[in-house]
Amino acid sequence: MARASSRRSRIGYTIAAWAVALTLFFPILYTIITSLKTEQEAISGFSLIPSFTLSSFEAVQTQNNYWKPFTNSVILAVGSTILALIVAIPAAWAMAFSPTKHTKNILMWMLSTKMMPAVAVLVPIYLIFLRTGLMDTRIGLTVMLMLINLPIVVWMLYTYFREIPGEILEAARMDGASLKDEILYVLTPMAIPGIASTMLLNVILAWNEAFWTIQLTTTNAAPLSAFIASFSSPQGLFWAKLSAASVMAIAPILIMGWFSQKQLVRGLTFGAVK
Amino acid sequence: MATRQTAGLARLMRAPAIILLLIWMIVPLGMTLYYSFQNYNLLNPAAISWAGWFNYQYFVTDPAFMAAIRNTLVLVLGVLTITVVLGIAIALLIDKPIWGQGIVRILIISPFFVMPPVAALIWKNMIMHPSYGVFADIARFLGLQPVDWFAQYPLTSIVIIVAWQWLPFATLILLTALQSLDGEQMEAAEMDGAGAISRFIHLTLPHMARAITVVILIQTIFLLGIYAEILVTTNGGPGNASTNLTYLIYRAARLNFDIGGAAAGGIIAVILANLVAIFLMRAVGKNLD
């Protein structure tokens, strides 16, 4: 009897959980469906069955030159992540493997730079970009995105590197491994999963960044976040086109996000929740 | 000897990150501070002069400032309340044995990965649009008058959108905390006759306290900076009805070209964010040892 009731409660929980999940996912689902409708269908009342036309996707690409912001998004997200890793890996490595009495303070201070509201430095950054000709350039924005995510990258890498046991280094040293051997053959293979996770989360964060990308670009360097924001004033019938543009802007990152749930928790809580 | 060599190398490896962040912190903030004491408008850039506290006075006494502070508070507290309460409820639900848990998790976490302008535009046009949105379809189906969300309830609409974006984050963190709960302790309490509510209050909630704190503090940092959602939906209006502090400073800098005023606003934003940050640093710092 107990088993029957636990089965019944499982059915109940399953129905409730699916109802919640589908409700929360609904805006995304409905956008995907609308992207497959014609403009006429998109405004003729609620319907979950589209005519499966790809015309909106084509229209977004031909009329709005979708590939340019898409390419910019890829370059900015990947470029800023690689730059951040180049700077952060040595720093996190040093702090994890030869910590000093200041290491904790340095880490806390890095975290504190993340607390600075972006808008507080809008004025100087905007003026610097205007005067140095960095405005609307990919290089300027790549550096910006690198800087704003650097603290998170250092922190995440640090929490991963710290989990690599120190004894393994001693064992390698006993076996006569040099510092170079240690780094190349012992530490690097153990560090790669952490680096990959960090990279994944940082690409997601950089891809979705929408304050600096909107402030510091107009046309040339505008990534998808800035491109989509330009849809805020509707021109005629644009529901299906907006949906198609949205789907293309979020699909790659949504899929990456599904694989990064654990890293998300660790990265965004600075290791405070694991 | 080897250790001294290692220490030197370690210093060298740390240096680039520290120097970069040091520059990133000091130079722009220093400039903001400098400009906050200058009369400087980009429409008349030649007329730059010392302003004393005028910009602060001007910014703070602007009626839009009090509205912005109020809206910022409503936005932050509204979203925090929704995400924490619903986050706990959903975390408890999907922690139960259910079929298809992996897919349920994926569906629930998805909104977090939608970039802010897309999230806001989806809600604005597909869901809340007074003629073509799903809410309007539902209202018409029920024989009611569709609501013009962004005209009638601008701030509430933005709270709903932002809460939708951050609910996955809260749920995921709270679920992670929940999964580390000691099952045996739970069973023991159940054996001792503790009811579900009493178990939740005396075991689950204290266990999740730290995660709840972290969710509140981290979200607050991000919620203070809400910008794109406002830009693409209401533009801060009608009037100042949905202008938060971030948006007010943006408007001063980019639409009024008032560099001095925007800088003063920026310094005020830093002070507010720091009040929150101090608490977050304490919570995270404890975990470092």
What are the sequence ranges of the domains in chain A?
2-57, 67-232
**Which amino acid appears at position A194 of this protein?**
G
Average predicted confidence (pLDDT) for chain B: 89
- pLDDT computed for residue B286 by the predictor: 67
Q: CA A22 to CA B83: how far, in whole Å? A: 17
**Which amino acid appears at position A43 of this protein?**
I
Is position B8 within any domain?
no
Is position B74 within any domain?
yes
> CB–CB of B126 and A30 under 8 A?
yes
Is position B25 within any domain?
no
Q: Give yes or no for B259 touching A (CB within 8 A).
A: yes
- pLDDT computed for residue A166 by the predictor: 74
Q: CA B253 to CA B56: how far, in whole Å? A: 14
Is position B206 within any domain?
yes
Indicate if the pLDDT at residue A237 is higher than 70.
no
CA distances from A126 to B32, B263, B267 (A): 11, 12, 16
**Chain A residue whose CA is closest to B163:** A24
Indicate if the pLDDT at residue A114 is higher than 90.
no
Q: CA B139 to CA B144: how far, in whole Å? A: 5
- pLDDT computed for residue B284 by the predictor: 64
Give burial (CB, 10 Å; 0-12/13-18/19+) of B10. buried
> CB–CB of B126 and A27 under 8 A?
yes
Is position B72 within any domain?
yes
Q: Is B38 helix (H, G, I), strand (E, B) or coil?
A: strand
Contacts of A117 in chain B (CB under 8 A): 224-225, 246, 266, 269-270, 272-273
Would you tell me which residues 47-76 of chain B have a C-beta closer than 8 angstroms to some C-beta of chain A? none
Residue A261 CB coordination number (10 Å):
16
Bridge partners (DSSP) listed for residue B258: B41
Residue A19 CB coordination number (10 Å):
11
Contacts of A46 in chain B (CB under 8 A): 134, 137-138, 141
Mean pLDDT of A208-235: 88
Q: CA B178 to CA B211: how far, in whole Å? A: 9
The domain defined by A67-232 carries CATH number 1.10.3720.10: yes
Task: For residue B276, give the nearest of B81, B84, B83, B76 by alpha carbon.
Answer: B76
The count of domains in chain B is 1
CA distances from A42 to A28, A34, A192, B132, B286 (A): 15, 6, 46, 8, 52
User: Residue B49: which H helix or E strand, with range?
Assistant: strand B49-50
Query: By the 8 A CB rule, do A92 and A157 touch?
Result: yes
> CB–CB of A210 and B233 under 8 A?
no
Q: CA B124 to CA B245: how far, in whole Å? A: 22
Distance from the Cα of A185 to chain B's closest Cα (Å) equals: 18
**Beta strand segments in B67-125, E:** none
- pLDDT computed for residue B285 by the predictor: 66
Distance from the Cα of B215 to chain A's closest Cα (Å) equals: 8
Give pTM, 2 decimals: 0.90
User: DSSP code of A74?
Assistant: H
User: Residue B50: which H helix or E strand, with range?
Assistant: strand B49-50
What ipTM was reported for this prediction? 0.89
Mean pLDDT of A116-129: 91
- pLDDT computed for residue B1 by the predictor: 38
Distance from the Cα of B217 to chain A's closest Cα (Å) equals: 10
Model confidence at A236, pLDDT cuts 50, 70, 90, reads: low
Is position B36 within any domain?
no
**pLDDT tens digits, residue range B241-279?**
999 999 999 999 999 898 999 999 999 999 988 887 787
> CB–CB of A239 and B125 under 8 A?
yes
Is position B34 within any domain?
no
Residue B145 CB coordination number (10 Å):
9
**Which amino acid appears at position B84 of this protein?**
V
CATH code of B243's domain:
1.10.3720.10
Identify the domain containing residue B225 by its residue range.
56-288
Give, in degrees to the nearest 5, the angle at Cα B286 between B283 and B289: 155
Indicate if the pLDDT at residue A110 is higher than 90.
no
- Ranges of chain B whose pLDDT falls below 50: 1-2, 289
Which of B69, B288, B289 should we substitute to test contact with A (largest number of A Cβ atoms within 10 Å)?
B288
> CB–CB of A124 and B32 under 8 A?
yes
Is position B196 within any domain?
yes
- pLDDT computed for residue B11 by the predictor: 87
Query: By the 8 A CB rule, do B137 and B86 touch?
Result: no
Would you tell me which residues 194-213 of chain B have a C-beta closer than 8 angstroms to some C-beta of chain A? 210-211
Task: For residue A125, give the nearest of B135, B14, B262 by alpha carbon.
Answer: B262
User: DSSP code of B258?
Assistant: B
Residue A189 CB coordination number (10 Å):
9
Q: CA B173 to CA B165: how far, in whole Å? A: 14
- pLDDT computed for residue B167 by the predictor: 96
> CB–CB of A42 and B99 under 8 A?
no
- pLDDT computed for residue A1 by the predictor: 45
Q: Is B41 helix (H, G, I), strand (E, B) or coil?
A: strand
